[in-house]
Amino acid sequence: MSPTETAIPQKEFDRIAAMIHSDASPVGIDAKTTHVIIIHKLESIERRLTELEAR
């Protein structure tokens, strides 16, 4: 999937790709780092949603 298909700016796409890249992994990414990033972002979204609902 390309950054264009995901509507992620190329610079941001490259930054995230570099963070999760792993030469040691057969799939090319570090699964633990990838999941931590996803969970962290979901928790951030959940906090924001809770704050909005409280208003």
Per-domain boundaries in the chain? 30-55
Nearest to 36 by CA among 48, 26, 44: 44
- What is the per-residue pLDDT across 6-46, written as a single tens digit (0 to 9) for each? 789 999 999 999 999 999 999 999 999 999 999 999 999 99
- Whether pLDDT at 1 is above 70: no
The count of C-alpha atoms lying within 13 angstroms of the C-alpha of 23, restricted to the half-sphere facing its C-beta, is 0
Give the per-residue pLDDT at 6. Answer: 72
pTM to 2 decimal places: 0.74
